[in-house]
Amino acid sequence: MSLSSTLYLFFLLLIFFVYYLLPHRFRWMWLLLAGYFFYFTWQPFYLILLASSTTVAYVFGRLIKPSGSRFTLWLGIGLLLLPLLFYKYYAFLNQNLASLLGLWGEISPLPAWSPLVPIGISFYTFQAISYLIDIRRGYLKPALHFGYFATYLAFFPTLSAGPIERAKRVLTQLQTPQPFRYENAVAGLQLIAWGLFKKVVLANHIAGLIDPVFIQPDAYSGPVLYLSLVLVPLQIFCDFSGYSDIALGSARMLGIRLMRNFDDRVYASTSRIEFWKGWHISLTSWFRDYVYFPLSKQLRSRTGLYINLLIVYFLTGLWHGATWGYILWGLLNGLWLVAEHATKEQRQAFFRRIWPDLNTPLHRFLSTLLAYHVGMFTSAFLRAPSIGATGSLLGGLFSKNRWHLTDVVNLKPFLPILVALGLMDFINRKLQNRELPELVASYGGLSRWSFYLIVCILILTFGRISDSPFFYYQF
């Protein structure tokens, strides 16, 4: 059941009405049942993995002491990682081991098997690991009520693709009585409508335009290849931030506030450092708090910090998937960030000779253009089906023979989606780090209802509300 499907909307309304009819002491049961049913509609068998991870995290959370041995913590983390490593990385490791041994005429000792990756396993595993580490650090007390803890890991809005929430934030809200508030219901519906607009009007239609280009890049001209590449970061943003808006809106209707996962105009960042501060915030902050900071705690040298940054982005690429394309994507992002950090002072000194004020519109525009194109080219490795397909696409893009003025006419199918993206960016500019419900509430009744009407008409007219999976479901 995709969050953008009609079935999900009916499911959410059922959960919403029953939730507020129940006394507080029974609500966790209803939400836990909802989470497990939601997961059941995807992969019934893998409910065993979700329940097992929940039990392991709960038991080890009770065993871990802030002043106790680290062995218990590492054992708990190891047991939580086992299903993730097996289901997500076994086939990749086995294929590469077989290729390596094949060079010497050896046969891989492991059986060939490509299991279906359980949906959401990367997200709920990271939540469980952060829970154990926070207990060990003394930031959090172990959960005493197994039901509330199980509900936290199986909370249906976040179960399939995050945000990767911290236990302290969500458990506290689940255990606190949440009275019905009209403003929460309205704000939640507004976020859901905005997320649906991004997903079914923008992301799905962009995917329909660029999927054939990435599958068969040799059949398209240079202008089409370039515009398809330009749209890749925007498609991923609309898809994943659209999912996050629906997840946040669903939780908001139940009185639960989740963390923001994206800055509104992260695609317009003036550097890749700025970009990564506002992109998939729940994941980047997870790696910062639980990998980068511990690795860098005793370091004083810049070289060591840069190596740790590369490690973090190598793991970020690997987290996205067990392919060399994802790993290369992570390393390329890490290398560019290291370059930005290492040359920051020299670059600023150079550009101040041209623009004494680095905040001039022209300088910001050129910086944004550069940062976007870096992200655009690295995203090709994230979006293309293979490194070979990425190479074909980039090769065609830089081939003189593929660029002709007459080919610009082939861009006509892209024009409606560019106009729709302009509408999204216009609203994102208005947000200025406010939540969408705050922006909508600041306008009068006529403007507010006009916004609702326009978004709903666009969704119903141009949207494809279906079980089309979100891009990040595969991770």
pLDDT in tens, 212-253: 888 888 888 888 888 989 999 999 999 999 999 999 999 999
Of 120, 149, 179, which residue is a domain's last? 179
Report whether pLDDT(405) > 90: no
Specify if 398 maps to a domain: yes
Across the range 51-65, mean pLDDT stands at: 95
Q: Are residues 150 and 283 in the same domain?
A: no
Whether residues 272 and 349 share a domain: the answer is yes
Same domain, 209 and 120: no
Domain assignment of residue 41, yes or no: yes
Are residue 406 and residue 286 in the same domain, yes or no? yes
* pLDDT confidence bin for 474, thresholds 50/70/90: low
433 assigned to some structural domain? yes
- The structure's pTM equals 0.91
Q: Is 55 inside a domain boundary? A: yes
Per-residue pLDDT of 454-466, as tens digits, reads 888 777 777 655 5
Q: Is residue 263 part of a domain?
A: yes
- Asked, for residue 1, whether it belongs to a domain, the answer is no
Q: Are residues 190 and 175 in the same domain?
A: no
Residues 189-204 have pLDDT tens digits of: 989 999 999 998 899 8
pLDDT of 456: 80
Domain co-membership, 321 together with 422 = yes
Q: Does 66 share its domain with 200?
A: no
The domain of 331 spans 183-474
Q: Which of 179, 196, 225 is the last residue in one of the domains?
A: 179
Are residues 280 and 377 located together in one domain of the fold? yes
Residue 191, domain member (yes or no) = yes
Residue 106 binned pLDDT confidence (cut-offs 50, 70, 90)? low
SS (H, E, C) the chain: CCCCCHHHHHHHHHHHHHHHHCCHHHHHHHHHHHHHHHHHCCCHHHHHHHHHHHHHHHHHHHHCCCCCCHHHHHHHHHHHHHHHHHHHHHHHHHHHHHHHHHCCCCCCCCCCCCCCCCCCHHHHHHHHHHHHHHHHHCCCCCCCCHHHHHHHHCCHHHHCCCCCCCHHHHHHHHHCCCCCCHHHHHHHHHHHHHHHHHHHHHHHHHHHHHHHHHHCHHHCCHHHHHHHHHHHHHHHHHHHHHHHHHHHHHHHHCCCCCCCCCCCCHHHCCCHHHHHHHCCHHHHHHHHHHHHHHHHCCCCCHHHHHHHHHHHHHHHHHHHCCCHHHHHHHHHHHHHHHHHHHCHHHHHHHHHHHCCCCCCHHHHHHHHHHHHHHHHHHHHHHHCCCHHHHHHHHHHHCCHHHCCHHHHHHHHHHHHHHHHHHHHHHHHHHHCCCCHHHHHHCCCHHHHHHHHHHHHHHHHHHCCCCCCCCHHHHC
* Residues 217 and 156 placed together within one structural domain of the fold: no
If one counts the domains in the chain, the total is: 2
Residue 292 lies in a domain: yes
Same domain, residue pair 168 and 267 = no
Same-domain status, 157 and 287: no
For range 134-147, the mean pLDDT: 94
Average pLDDT, the chain: 87
- Domain end among 149, 179, 209: 179
pLDDT classification of 381: cutoffs 50, 70, 90: confident
